[in-house]
Amino acid sequence: MIRAIKRFFLSRKTILALILLILGAIVLAYIFPQRFSTSSLEMEKWQEANPVWVPWVDLLGLDHVYSTTWFDVLLFIFLLSLIISTFEQIKISIKKTFGHGVTSGGKNFKVIALEEKIVSAIKKQGYFQIAGNHATLRFIKYPWGYWGSVLLHFGIVFAIASSLVVALTQKRGLLQLVEGELYVPGTAWVTEERGLFTGRFILPEAVSLDNIIPEFWETDDLKNLTTTLSFSDPQGRFKRYTLAINQTINYRGIRVYQSQGFGDAFFVKLTDKEGRNTGLILRIQNPAKRDVAGYANLKSYEIPYLIKTKYFADADRKSMLSTNPLLVIRLVDKGRVIGEVSLKNGESGQLGPYTATVTGISKWAGMIFVDITGMPGIFLGFFIIIIGGGLTYFMPPREFYIRKEDSGLFIITWKATRFESFYEEEYEKVSSAFGGLKPQ
């Protein structure tokens, strides 16, 4: 039974199938929009355009492939296969390094000479004796090259094991805060992902968004986005940090990244015919161009209609950094528009059965908080892989065998594990020490 399991995990078909499945998972993560790299509006548009795939996305977690249980199981099986394969490679390397060795192929010549003289000529080329038996002496140059394959396997094992630790213990949370807004630990995230072996992602301290500074190129493309965050403890002490697209924060072991999601947040008051007020905060993604609108949809339990919004960064379409944006709100009931109004800051208008008023406008931005254990192990694994590749391809072992025949005759055999023609000079130097005898 154990042998059958071992054969299964060492089978080329099994290893190839696992590699193809993992590559397939990577392709799925590329094809299907992932939560942390896709805005809610883009996700809604994709779902509307691909209704057939929505049940499969929900069932298999295709919108968060790398934190699904099936992906963890796939990595675990692949890890087991690699561990077993690594042990087999260790056995092979031990045998190649310390075994007596049975030569086959290679170059050889015969010579009548003192054994000490032959050994001395071989050692001058950097070879040293590893093992031997009563009939054969064995010399190797760069025997550690036999361990390159072991290091390659071990490095992959280390990288996959670390990746599994990351997948099982990772915590990710997305926040979208308005300037001046305070996020209290334990409050729901906009989006949260966590590994199989972790609980809720709760920040150690409260965080607030103090300031947002977007910068644009002349083409209206985003040049940079800088935000200022403050972390505060229960005693009221706070620490302030600057975050940007290419500038992260490491706070108490949690890495914070600047999301490219940002825009204007419109504070809207809806007043019905009875005078009851409902407050809404409409966070809308910043438009891509000054003459193009940014869009967002909102469903509120207080309003029995779908709220569709869009806004222009500047009401006059002249700037991306305007203090005069234009908001357009639509109320949709079962696919039918029942009200629409365009408003600037401080303005009011009729929106179906409501009077809509924009009471204020602020900037908002997204931040991604990541608590991951195991990333250094992945980099260490790749470092070990590089070392293993270096040993395998830049220090290939070469061997000399001395076999004694009758009447003082010795057969000297040389072979290289790789690139034989490149290192053939070593063999020629040894043979030339005994008259340059040609191979037999």
Identity of the residue numbered 117: K
Q: Which residues pair with 257 in a beta bridge?
A: 368
Least confident of 108-122, 244-258, 276-290: 108-122
Give the SS3 label for residue 418.
coil
Q: What is the pTM of this model?
A: 0.79
Mapped onto helix, strand or coil, the DSSP state of residue 59 is helix
**Residue range 186-214: average pLDDT?**
93
Instruction: Write out pLDDT tens, residues 56-94.
Output: 998 999 999 988 999 999 999 999 999 999 999 999 999
Query: pLDDT band at residue 439, thresholds of 50, 70 and 90?
Result: very low
Q: Tell me the helices (H) and strands (E) count for the chain, helix number first.
A: 9, 20
pLDDT of amino acid 101: 62
Mean pLDDT for the chain?
A: 90
Which range (73-87, 98-112, 144-158, 212-226) has the least confidence?
98-112
DSSP string for residues in 11-38: -HHHHHHHHHHHHHHHHHHHHSPPGGGS
Q: Which of 93-102, 223-232, 430-439 has the lowest mean pLDDT?
A: 430-439
Pairing mode of beta strands 136-141, 128-132:
antiparallel
Q: Is residue 42 scored above 90 in pLDDT?
A: no
Query: pLDDT per residue over 206-236, tens digit each?
Result: 999 999 999 999 999 999 999 999 999 888 8
**Which residues are CB-neighbours of 151 under 8 A, at least 6 positions away?**
384, 385, 387, 388, 391
Q: How many whole angstroms separate alpha carbon 175 and alpha carbon 190?
A: 6
Q: Is 266 exposed, middle or buried (0-12, 13-18, 19+ CB in 10 A)?
A: buried
pLDDT of 168 strictly over 70: yes
Q: Predicted confidence band at 103 (pLDDT cuts at 50, 70, 90)? A: low
Query: Residue 437 has what pLDDT?
Result: 53
- Residues 5-26 have a mean pLDDT of 88
C-alpha to C-alpha distance for 299 and 402, rounded to whole angstroms: 84
Q: What is the pLDDT of residue 260?
A: 86
- Average pLDDT of 37-65? 86
Q: What is the pLDDT of residue 210?
A: 95
pLDDT of residue 104: 67
CA–CA separation, 159 and 139 (whole Å) = 35
Report the pLDDT averaged over residues 9-34. Answer: 90
Can you give the pLDDT at residue 152?
95
Asked if residues 439 and 107 have their Cβ atoms less than 8 Å apart, the reply is yes
For residues 408 and 65, the model is more confident at 65
Handedness of CA 284, 286, 287, 291 (dihedral sign): positive
Alpha-carbon gap, residue 215 to 207, rounded angstroms: 24
The pLDDT confidence band at residue 134, using thresholds 50, 70 and 90, is low
